[in-house]
Amino acid sequence: MTTASARLVIDLDLPGPRISRHLYGHFAEHLGRCIYGGFWVGEESEIPNVRGIRLDVVEALRELRIPNLRWPGGCFADEYHWRDGIGPRDQRPRMVNTNWGDVVEDNSFGTHEFMELCELLGADPYVNGNVGSGAVREMSEWVEYLTRGGESPMASLRRANGRDEPWRVPFWGIGNEAWGCGGNMRAEAYADLARQYATFLRDHGDNRLYRVAAGASDDDYRWTETMMKSVGCVGCGDGPKDIFQGLSFHYYTIPGPWEDKGDATRFTLDDYYATMVKARHVEELIRGHAAVMDVYDPAKTIGLVLDEWGTWWNVEEGTNPGFLYQQNTLRDALVASVHFDAFHRHADRLTMANIAQTVNVLQAMILTDADSGALVLTPSYHVFRMNVGHHDAASLRVHVDAPSWVRPVAAGNLDLVSASASTRSSADGDTALVSISNLDAERALPVLLDLRGRVVSGARARILTADSIDAHNTAAAPDAVVVRDHPVLFEPGPFGTELRVDLPPHSYVTVELDMT
C-alpha cells in the first residue's frame, strides 16, 4: 500500500459556488472563561482593554477576519434574559449559570458589550434568542431594541442606555438545541414554535434578519425533514415563505464514548486516526441534511448552518469540569482543515458554520492564562488564518488521485489526502488558493498539482506542522506549532502547469497561485 505521489487535478477556469466567508464564523458562549477572562476583563483590569474588552484578544482575532460571532449560547442562550444584561452594570441582576459550572453570572457582559465587541472585531453579530425559557414577546423586543431606529418603546430604552443609532444584526438564532438543553422538545413541537417566533422577529428599517431555526444533532435527518415540511415546498408556490432562512445542525468530533472522550494531548496513533475518521464524517452529514432539504427546497433558498462544530475532549486536569477547557494540538488543527475542505465542497447549500468556541473553551483559537494574563495562539488559530484567502472566493473542484493513500482503522477506512481550492479576481490580479492536508501521521506525501485552464505565473506555499501530532502551544512555548514558508517547485506538464509540493507527515499546506 504505497504510492509515489498524489496528483490533484484542478481546472482553474471553471469556478463553482461561492464559499461564503460566514463558513469561518465563531462562537462565544457564557461558558467557563470564554467571556469572562477571555473577551472580557473589565475596565479596571491591568490587562490592556477597550472599555473592558481585552485588546490583545481582539487584535489576534482581527487577523482571522472573523465574519460573524454567535452569542450568548449555546445552552446558555435558552436561560438568558436579555433585559438582565442592559443598563448600569452595578444594577444588573445576577443569575446562576446552571448549564456550565453552576457559577454566578453577574451579567456585566451583555447586549451593549457584545455589540461593541463585534464592532471592534469587524464581525457581524449572530444573536441566539431564548426559546426554551423565554417568550415570543421577549425575543421580539430584543430585535426591536437592537435594530429599530425612530421612535418605539425599545428604541427609547436603548437610547436611555447610551446608544442612539440602531445596530445592524443580520443573523438571529431561534433557540438552540431544542431537542436537548433548549427544551427537550419533539421536532413537531419545536417546528410550530419556530414558525411562531419567526413571525414576530421583525425586520426593522433596512435591517434584514437571517433567521436560523434550531436544527438537528448529528445525523437526525428526521428533525431536518420535519423542519423543512413545516415551511412547505419553498419556491413551489404551495408553502409559506420567509419563515426562516437558515436551518442548523451540530456535530462534534468525539472519537471516544461521551463518558470518556479522551485526552487532548495524550493519545495514541490509533486515537489520532479514529479522530480523523470522525472529522471526515462531517461531509456525510452535510450531504445527508442537504439531500433532505433539496426535496423541499430545490432552489436552495434556505441555508444549512453548522453553528457548532469542533473537537471535544476531557477537560484539562485541575480545571472546572463545567468550563470545558482543553488544550489544542496539531491533531485539532487537522480536524479543522478537513472540515474546511468539506465546507468548500458544499458551498452551494452550507451558508454558515461556527467553531466551538473562540477563547478558552473546546477547540479554541486562543487560550489565556488566568493568573499571568498570557495569550497563546493555538494550532487551530493558524489553520483559520491560513484559510482567509478562501473567504467569499469561488470554489474549484479538486480531483484527488491517490488511490492507495487509504488507511484501514477501527472506525472505518480513512482517506489520508484532503484538499480543496478556490479562486478570486481583484484589482491586483487573479489568484487561487489550494489547501492540502496529509493526514498520514507516519509517511510524507509528495503532491503534484496539475493546474489546467489558466497560466500560473507564480506560487507560494505555507505549512503548518510539527515534529509530533500531539505538539501544542503554551505560554512557555508559544511557537511549538506555527506557520512557516514552504518550498514549491514548477514542473512542465502535458495539460498546463504542474507544481510539486512535498508534505511531511501530519501536515497542512496552502499554496497561493498567481494567474494570468
C-alpha to C-alpha distance for 301 and 239, rounded to whole angstroms: 13
Letter for the amino acid at 448? L
What's the CA gap between 434 and 419, in Å, rounded?
Answer: 7
Identified catalytic residue from 308, 316, 442, 491: 308
**How many residues in the chain?**
516
Residue 206: Cβ within 10 Å count:
9
Residues 6 or more apart whose CB falls under 8 angstroms from that of 223 comprise: 179, 187, 215, 216, 217
How many angstroms separate the Cα of 491 from the Cα of each of 7, 324, 448, 511?
A: 13, 48, 9, 15
Conformation bin of residue 376: beta by default, left when phi > 0, alpha when psi is -120 to 50: beta
Using CA atoms, how far residue 59 sits from 49, 200, 296, 506, in Å, is: 11, 37, 43, 29
Whether the Cβ atoms of residue 277 and residue 255 lie closer than 8 Å to each other: yes
Give the N- to C-terminal CA distance of the chain in Å, as an integer.
39
DSSP state of 166: P
Contact, 140 vs 201, CB < 8 A?
A: yes
- Compute the distance between CA of residue 290 and CA of residue 284 in angstroms, rounded to an integer: 10
Amino acid, res. 503? L
For residue 481, the tally of other CB atoms under 10 A from its CB is 25
CB 306 within 8 A of CB 250: yes
Sign of CA dihedral 392, 23, 115, 379: negative
Catalytic residue among 29, 113, 144, 177: 177
Alpha-carbon Rg for the chain in angstroms: 23
> Does the active-site annotation cover 177?
yes
Cβ atoms of residues 435 and 342 within 8 Å: no
Element (H, E) at 113: helix 111-121
Alpha helices in 165-315 (DSSP H): 187-200, 221-230, 269-296
- Give one word for 258, left, alpha or beta, with left for phi > 0 and alpha for psi -120 to 50: alpha
Q: How far is CA 107 from the centre of its chain?
A: 25
Quick check: helix, strand or coil at residue 82? helix
Q: Is 491 a catalytic residue?
A: no
Is the bond preceding 74 in cis, omega lying within 30 degrees of 0?
yes
Instruction: Name the nearest CA neighbour of 19 among 453, 433, 459.
Output: 433
Catalytic machinery residues:
177, 308
